[in-house]
Structure 1
Amino acid sequence: MKRDGHVHTPFCPHGSKDSLEAYVENALQKGITSISFTEHAPLPEGFRDPAPTKDSSMSLDTYYEYIEAVQALQDQYRDAPIDIRVGVELDYISGWEQQTLSFLQTHGKSLQDIILSVHFIEVEGKWLCIDYDEEVFRTYVSLCGGIEAAYDRYFQTVEKSVRADFGDHQPPRIGHLTLIRKFKKNFPVSFEWEEKAFELLHLMKTRNLALDYNSAGLRKPLCGETYPSPFLLQAAQKMRIPIVYGSDAHCAKDVGSFFDKL
C-alpha cells in the first residue's frame, strides 16, 4: 500500500485553493492507494493564533464544513482504488492540554486519523509560531538566548506532547519531529542535539506512538532534509516504531512528493 498520511486541503487558511478532487486525482496518478486529509484543527477557544497572519488553522465553523466535504469525497470515490480518510493535524500547546482533550472528546469519533504536532512555543510570555518564517524563527532564537537553548526548548515541548495523556482519544502519531531544523542552513549548529531526538524516539516507543515521516523539509530551501533527519528515521526503523509517510502537501501537486525517493 502506498499511503500519504499527512495532506492538507483548500480549508487550510495558509494553503492553496486546489480542490479536494485535485488532491485525490493527483494521488491516483501517483499510485497512492490511501490518503489521509489532516487539516489543521481549530485552535482552543481563548488561545490567540501567534502567526503574524493569524492563519494557522480552521475556525470551528469551517471545521464542520471540512468534515462534511471529506465525507462527501469518500462517497464520491467509493469505487476508486483509494482509501480516503478524514483527520486533523492537532496542535500540542503546552498548558492547553485540557482544552485539547475537550476537542478530542467532542470531535474524536468523526476522525479517522490524527497527527499531534508542535508549531507554537511560549518564550518569556510570548507565543511564537516557530516555523512561520525565518524572521519569526530568528525572534524565537533571540528570546531563547541562542540557538542551543532554542533547540532545547523545542525538544522539551515535543517531549511534553509525547507524554501528554489524552486517554481513549490519544493521537496515534507525532508530526514532523525535527521541525526545528526547517531553517538550519541559516542557523547552523555546532553542538550535539541528536541525543535529545533519540530520547524522544525511545519515549515514543514506550507510548506506542507512530512517527510522521515528513517530506516537506525537502521542499524547503533552507532545510533540504526530511523530518525527522534520515539517521533518526533509521533509528526508528531499528526500534520498530511505526512509520507513516506524509507529504504535508498544502497544494495538490505536492501529494506524494519524494515518495519514491523516501
Structure 2
Amino acid sequence: MLKQDAHVHTPFCPHGSLDSFHSYIEKAIKKGFDSITFTEHAPLPPSFQDPTPQKDSAMKQQDLESYLTTLDRLKQEYKGELIVKTGLEVDYIKAYEEETSAFLDCYGPELDDGILSVHFLPAGHDYICLDFDEHAFKELIKIYGHVEGVYQSYYEQIHASILSSLGHYKPKRIGHITLVQKFKQLFPYDMSPRLCEMATLCLEETAKKGMSLDFNTSGLRKTYARSIYLDPWMIDLAKKKKIPLIFGSDAHQAEDVGYAYDQFEDMIRFI
C-alpha cells in the first residue's frame, strides 16, 4: 500500500505556519512516505464574506497561480524521491455552489486531488466558521438553541456537499466528517439516534457516489477534541461499504506531516 499523507497545508495558508514546502516534503521523506498531497484551502467564492476576524480562512485568489506553479516545480525537483501531488481543500457552502463550480471548472484540470469540506454553518443571514474557536462554536449553540442543533446543521451541510453538482472536477473526498466534534470536551454531546441516522446516510451516499473519506488525525492534536475526525463506528461502516479511507494529517506545520499514521495503519489493517 502506498504510504501517503493526502491532506497537508502550506505556507500559502493564511492561518498556518510559514514552514516551507521543502520542510514539509523533507519531513515526509524522513518519515518514510511515498507520496504527499498539498491541499491548501482554496480561495473562497468571490461573493462570500469570510466570517473570521482576520479573514484568513483560505488562500487568496491572487496567490493561486503561484501555488500551482510552485508545486509544478517541486514535482520535478523531487521526482524519484517522493510523489508530490497538487490539491486543494474546497469549502462547500450551500448557497455558493455556482461560484464553486465555476472555480473548479477553471482550475480543476490543474489538480491531482481534492477534498470537499464544511467549515461554515448558516447563522441567520450570515455564517460562522464552526471550528474557528470555542467562542464561535458557543455562538452557534446560542443560535441553534442547543448542541444537537449545531450537529444537525453540520450533517445537513455534509449531506448536501455529497449530493451537490459541482461539475466534473468536484473533489472526490469528504474532509474531516466529524469536525463538528472539535470542541466536544467543552460541549459534550452524544449523538442521538436521529443524528446517527443522518451521519449514516452521509456515509451511504458517499459510497453510492464513489467518494472517499478523509482519515483525519488532526483532532488528536486539538485540546478539546482529542480524537480522530472519524468515529469508530463510521470506520466500521466505511469498511463494510467499501469506502476508501485516505490518511491525512491536516498538517499546518511541517512537524505534523504524517502525524499518528500508525493509528491509521492499525485501524485499516483488516480492510
Query: Normalised by the size of structure 1, how large is the TM-score?
Result: 0.97
1:84 aligns with 2:84: yes
Q: State the secondary structure of the residue aligned to 1:261.
A: helix
> Hey, what does 1:132 align to over in structure 2?
132
Q: CA deviation at 1:231?
A: 2.0
After superposition, what is the alpha-carbon deviation per residue over 1:24-72, rounded to whole angstroms, capped at 9, x for unaligned? 0000011110110000000111111111221001111111111111111
Task: Give, in whole Å, the separation in 1 of the partners of 2:115 and 2:42.
Answer: 10
Task: Give, in whole Å, the separation in 2 of the partners of 1:214 and 1:184.
Answer: 16
Equivalence map 1:100-111=2 (5 Å):
100-111=100-111
Task: Give, in whole Å, the separation in 1 of the partners of 2:21 and 2:38.
Answer: 9
Equivalence map 1:227-246=2 (5 Å):
227-246=229-248
Counting matched residue pairs gives 261
> Hey, what does 1:18 align to over in structure 2?
19
> Hey, what does 1:252 align to over in structure 2?
254
Q: State the secondary structure of the residue aligned to 2:56.
A: coil
> Hey, what does 2:224 align to over in structure 1?
222
Counting aligned pairs with the same residue, the percent is 41
CA contact (8 A) 2:104 2:167 kept: no
CA contact (8 A) 2:10 2:253 kept: yes
Task: Give, in whole Å, the separation in 2 of the partners of 1:140 and 1:155.
Answer: 14
Task: Give, in whole Å, the separation in 2 of the partners of 1:220 and 1:176.
Answer: 13
1:176 aligns with 2:176: yes
User: Which runs of no fewer than 5 residues in structure 1 stay unpaired?
Assistant: none
Q: Which deviates the most, 31-40 or 194-203?
A: 194-203
Q: CA deviation at 1:196?
A: 1.9
Q: CA deviation at 1:79?
A: 2.7
Letter paired with 1:34: S
Task: Give, in whole Å, the separation in 1 of the partners of 2:8 and 2:253.
Answer: 9
Letter paired with 1:183: F
> Hey, what does 2:203 align to over in structure 1?
201
Q: CA deviation at 1:221?
A: 1.2
* Alpha carbons of structure 1 residues 230 and 191: separation in structure 2 relative to 1, 3 Å: closer
Task: Give, in whole Å, the separation in 1 of the partners of 2:207 and 2:25.
Answer: 32
Task: Give, in whole Å, the separation in 1 of the partners of 2:190 and 2:111.
Answer: 42
Task: Give, in whole Å, the separation in 2 of the partners of 1:190 and 1:153.
Answer: 16
> Hey, what does 1:4 align to over in structure 2?
5
Q: CA deviation at 1:191?
A: 4.8
Letter paired with 1:260: D
CA contact (8 A) 2:105 2:167 kept: no
Q: State the secondary structure of the residue aligned to 1:89.
A: strand
Q: Tell me how large the CA RMSD over aligned residues is.
A: 1.0
Equivalence map 1:56-95=2 (5 Å):
56-80=57-81, 82-95=82-95
1:147 aligns with 2:147: yes
> Hey, what does 1:41 align to over in structure 2?
42
Task: Give, in whole Å, the separation in 2 of the partners of 1:202 and 1:230.
Answer: 16
Task: Give, in whole Å, the separation in 2 of the partners of 1:191 and 1:64.
Answer: 42
